[in-house]
Amino acid sequence: MDLQMMLLDVIYFILRNSVRAVLRPRTKPVDGELVLITGAGGGLGRLFAQEFTKHGAEVVLWDINSSSNEQTAKLVGEMGGTAHTYTVDVTKREDVYCKAELVRKDLGRDVTILVNNAGVVAGERMLDCPDELIEKTMKVNCHALFWTVKAFLPQMKAQNHGHIVTIASVLGLFSTSCVEDYCASKFAAVGFHESLAHELLAEDVEGVKTTLVCPYIVDTGMFEGCKIREEVELVLPPLDPQYCVEQAMNAILIDQPLVCIPRLTYLPFLSRALLPWESNVVVYRFIGSDKCMYPFIDFKKQASNGCINVV
Ligand SMILES: *[C@@H]1O[C@H](CO)[C@@H](O)[C@H](O)[C@H]1NC(C)=O
């Protein structure tokens, strides 16, 4: 009996999600929600702040760089929205807990949507990469997820209302060379997010939703220089940041658990699981994705002294 029910449910969700891929379901309203975004000073974080503002939400902006964070707040203000800025180093858990408490005190209300967006990449070959940069990537892209979720999930659970969004990467689902720090941290982020999603469901906390966002290389400058075979790049160009954030917003607003952007990237994710390792290597060579980070690393070397980019 249980088995029959389970199989029926499995089929129901396959059908429902196929229909949803074509007919978009109704989106939930987020006006009146308090949305906290990490890494809000630039890249996708800034665009998320603007998108949530468009949808009538109030935003709390966290970034380690106060001047770029203020610029985001200014843009939100010009749109008629309300933004509250905090200078936070998400790699320091005391700082996260302390600023989370401050947000609660200042605003007198709880954060209901948490967008874990802050991310960095070292941009060095494994053996050239200073240890501090490797640690930094793990701390920003992975450890910080624990601290922010510990800071904001309790109130969401208490109210049975909230949404945890993790901006990971397709490099959390499959990998390439020369971004060991980034891949390790993003695979970790995916594992963290999915385990947390299972925990909430196992506890029947139905009101706290989760969305894992896995974008392909986004044209924010973070992976500037990265290059694959030209013919393939025509069908898989670097993502326009605005497009990426709009797709992610669509997923968040329909409580979709996972979204890969663009959809084409589900393909390498599947082939990694289904094909032999060597077959994937051959495909990587053909596409040029085995060495796609080489020009990126050269570019980073020229452009900076191995300094860190915040998305
Ligand atoms: C902070 O942001 C400003 C404005 O975007 C930028 O000019 C500056 O270099 C950033 N500072 C650091 C330390 O990254």
| Domains of the chain and any CATH numbers | 26-304 (3.40.50.720)
Taking the centre of ligand 1 as the mean of its atom positions, its distance from the CA of residue 101, in whole angstroms, is 26
Q: Give the span between the Cα atoms of 146 and 152, in whole angstroms.
A: 10
Q: How far apart are CA 206 and CA 297, in angstroms?
A: 43
Ligand 1 centre and the CA of 41: distance in Å? 9
Beta bridge partners of 60: 36, 84
Q: Is 69 in the pocket of ligand 1 (CB under 6 A)?
A: no
Pinpoint the alpha helices (H) of the chain: 2-22, 43-54, 66-78, 93-107, 131-138, 144-159, 180-202, 230-235, 241-253, 266-274, 277-287, 294-303
Nearest CA, atom 12, ligand 1: 65
Q: Looking at residue 285, what is its pLDDT? A: 94
pLDDT at 305: 56
Mean pLDDT of 35-62: 98
Check: CB of residue 59 under 8 Å from CB of residue 82. Answer: yes
Question: Is the confidence at residue 83, as pLDDT, over 90?
Answer: yes
Other beta carbons within 10 Å of 151: 21
pTM of the model: 0.94
Q: Is the pLDDT of residue 309 over 70?
A: no
Q: Which residues contact 185 (CB under 8 A, 6 or more apart)?
A: 137, 138, 140, 141, 142
Q: How far is the CA of 50 from the centre of ligand 1 (A)?
A: 20
User: Residue 64 pLDDT > 90, yes or no?
Assistant: yes
Q: What is the pLDDT of residue 311?
A: 43
Q: Which residue's alpha carbon is nearest to atom 10 within ligand 1?
A: 65
With beta carbons less than 8 A apart as the criterion, state whether 218 and 245 touch: no
**What is the distance in A from the centroid of ligand 1 to the CA of 89?**
14
148: phi then psi, degrees, rounded to nearest 5:
-70, -40
Upper half-sphere CA count for residue 311 (Cβ side, 13 Å): 28
Residue nearest to atom 11 of ligand 1 (CA): 65
**Sheet strands side by side (includes 113-116):** 83-87, 58-63, 34-38, 113-116, 162-167, 208-215, 258-261
Which residue matches tokens 């890969």?
A: 260
Residue-level pLDDT at 310: 45
Instruction: Name the percent of the chain lying above pLDDT 90.
Output: 88
Least confident of 20-24, 71-75, 134-138, 303-307: 303-307
CB 289 within 8 A of CB 271: no
User: For ligand 1, is residue 309 a contact (CB within 6 Å)?
Assistant: no
Q: C-alpha distances in angstroms, 72 versus 44, 90, 217?
A: 11, 18, 22
pLDDT tens-digit map of 178-194: 999 999 999 999 999 99
pLDDT at site 306: 46
In this structure, which residue's CA is closest to atom 14 in ligand 1? 65
Residue 209's φ and ψ, nearest 5 degrees, are -90, 165
Please give the number of the atom of ligand 1 that sits closest to the Cα of 66: 1
Q: Which two tokens stand for residue 102?
A: 């401050």
> For 190, how many CA atoms within 13 A lie in the half-sphere containing its CB?
20
Residue 61 has pLDDT above 90, yes or no: yes
Q: Is 67 in the pocket of ligand 1 (CB under 6 A)?
A: yes
What are the residue numbers of the active site? 182
Q: What is the pLDDT of residue 268?
A: 94
68 Cβ below 6 A of ligand 1: yes
